[in-house]
Structure 1
Amino acid sequence: MSIVLALLAALFAALTGILAKVGIENVNSNLATAVRTIVVLVMAFIVVIVTKQLGGIETITGKAFLFIVLSGFATGISWLFFFKALAIGDVSKVVPIDKSSVVLTILLSFLVLGEPAAPLVILGGALITIGTFVLIGKNDEKKRFTGSQGFVIYAILGAVFAALTSILAKIGIEEVDSNLATFIRTIVILVFAWVIVWFQGTFKDLKQITQKGYLFLILSGVATGLSWLCYFAALAIGKVSIVAPIDKFSVVLTMVLGIIFLKEKVKKETVIGGIIITAGTILLII
């Protein structure tokens, strides 16, 4: 069941990247993140109410609550870096870098959670790393990061905090309903995102977002909410070193959707990198 949930999470995560790319055109990336988080919180609250888990907050231990909150902070920071990168780079390049967090997640699952370091898991992680670097490609004209290349730095930082998210969440939801944990985490992320927007003063730009922009931001938020609910449900019953890689397969789906719907150019590196990442993901699942 955890594999099915992880695959669904990957599908919705892929849709998130595409919808967000359309929705944040000419919109500050942090403001877009804050708006999307409102949608995710509403979805999480509805699920908690329907499943009658809201009262379970009183039974959460201090340790579990702490790690859930820390997981929320890690996600918030990861989001800010990811959508900043997405605002200035191609989806087909930003998402693969961000999804390379699976390698860090696997390593942390070995070191922190004590999950078995199976040979296929190590090999799969190595392939995903190689595939990611192939997707990043190279620039023969510039050796330093410029305005157009700066997205790589933001995407890498997003990947680091995304890896911490899974580990902290796994520890926090061991004895907590996954939907309730998602709801609590989303509250943390919402506060985090809007504090950033407030200090930057970008909340004033809300009036400048077009109806189309709001539509796609809302749709992106819905896709994110569905992806989270599926992912953390899978994480609650499965191993991090297995669930995380399956979820990160969304990178391949995102690249395909980016080429089809956003008309992004198909490059040799994109195809080769996508194939290598897919092979690595299959090995991890096995």
Structure 2
Amino acid sequence: MNISAIIKLTVSMALFGSIGFFTVHTGIPAIELVFVRCICATLFLGGMWLATGSHRTEVWQRQELIRTLLCGIFIVLNWVFLFKAFEEMSISIAISIYNLAPIFVLLLGAIVLKEKMTIQALVATITCFIGSLFVIGLQNFISLSEFMQSGFVWALLSAIFYALTMLTSKTITKLSSYALTYIQTTVGIVMLLPFVDFSVFEGLTTTNWLFILGTGFIHTGFVYYLFFDSIRSLSTILVSVLVFVDPVVAILLDMLLLDFMPSLMQTIGIVLIFGGIFYTIYIPKRKKTLLE
């Protein structure tokens, strides 16, 4: 067991779990925050790419480069929608819905890639769906306007685009992790530049800037470095379990620092969502491993 890799992945997930707390203290909207985040991450990861010498050994293929650019669009939209969700709802609720991404990977794999969907996967999907209804609050589904203002749509879109990012990135095998992420964040800069309102940066406090730069250099640059540096040394099962550190930290910070307290129904919903996700990711693989 690679203890160093386990520590790196755990630290990266714990740090990423604090991104919601950082986001609400930046004082700027989602698009502008993602734009700055892409700039910081491009500088950090580009520097790491050069420092490690990976740029000298890259294998460039036209089709893979196109998929990387598409993956960049997906991941940027994922970030924008997630931060929009943080603006409309509590971090705990947004993160719970956001972490439905593995379920969407399963569904999209069955629809697009014609992969077989088991009864267990279907049960887990239904469980997560019911959990999401409990989390957002059934009363918000009575009125369309209340539903749209709840932030549920933004969180759901962030999960869908995260799933698309995961599915697309699975097809990219030649490029190094640094090259992949560097291209993605560069795509984000170009993609968001026409929509950025630079006036929102006027009058920001030093604290605001510390949180803004933190989301860029820490949550994107440093976290991505730790993440990619660790996952290649760990089993898929271990990675799948350790990523749960992210939502746990996010929910704890939301409760301890932002005074969020879920209702009984929301608590049940959160348990159903993560129970369904954990079962989808971990249990089937565990059974397969035992049979082997």
Does the Cα contact within 8 Å between 2:140 and 2:146 map onto a contact in 1? no
Counterparts in 2 of 1:113 and 1:43: CA distance versus 1, 3 Å: farther
For 1:194, give the aligned amino acid: L
Note the C-alpha offset of 1:206: 1.5
Q: Return 5+ residue gaps in structure 2 as ranges.
A: 284-292
Question: In structure 2, what residue type is equivalent to 1:264?
Answer: F
Secondary structure, aligned partner of 1:171:
coil
TM-score, reference length from structure 1: 0.81
The correspondence of residues 229-240 of structure 1 with structure 2, limited to 5 A, is 229-231=225-227
**1:11 aligns with one of 11, 14, 17:** 14
The 5-angstrom pairing of residues 134-145 of structure 1 reads 134-139=134-139, 143-145=143-145
Going from structure 1 to structure 2, the CA distance change for 1:88 and 1:171 (only over 3 Å counts) comes to same
**Residue 47 of structure 1 corresponds to which residue in structure 2?**
48
2: CA distance between counterparts of 1:141 and 1:168? 32
Could you list the per-position Cα deviations for residues 74-98 of structure 1 after superposition, in whole angstroms to 9, with x for gaps in the alignment? 1112222221221222212222222
Task: Determine the structure 1 residue equivalent to 2:262.
Answer: 266
Q: Compared with structure 1, are the counterparts of its residues 190 and 153 closer, same or farther at alpha carbon in structure 2 (3 Å cutoff)?
A: same
What letter matches 1:36 in structure 2?
Answer: R
State how far apart, in whole Å, the 2-side matches of 1:55 and 1:215 are.
Answer: 34
- The CA distance in 1 between the partners of 2:118 and 2:207, in whole Å, is 47
Partner of 1:62: 62
Query: 2:288 maps to what in 1?
Result: none
Kindly report the root-mean-square deviation, in angstroms, between the aligned alpha carbons of the 2 structures. 3.3
Q: Confirm or deny: 8 A CA contact 1:102 1:125 kept in the other structure.
A: no
TM-score relative to the length of structure 2: 0.80
1:165 aligns with 2:165: yes
User: Structure 1 CA distance, aligned partners of 2:9 and 2:210?
Assistant: 26
Task: Report the equivalent of 1:206.
Answer: 201
Gaps of 5+ in 1: none
Any conservation in 1 of the 2:45–2:182 contact (CA below 8 Å)?
A: yes
Cα offset, 1:70, TM superposition: 0.4
Q: After superposition, where does 1:75-154 map in structure 2 within 5 Å?
A: 75-110=75-110, 122-139=122-139, 143-146=143-146, 149-154=149-154
Work out the CA distance in 1 between the residues paired with 2:94 and 2:48: 31
- Cα 1:141–1:81 shift into 2, 3 Å: closer
Shift of 1:243: 5.5
Question: Which SS does the other structure have where 2:18 is aligned?
Answer: helix
Whichever residue aligns with residue 178 of structure 1, its letter is: S
Could you tell me which residue of structure 1 aligns to residue 289 of structure 2? none
**CA distance change for structure 1 residues 70 and 267 in 2, over 3 Å: closer, same or farther?**
same
- Matched residue pairs, number? 278
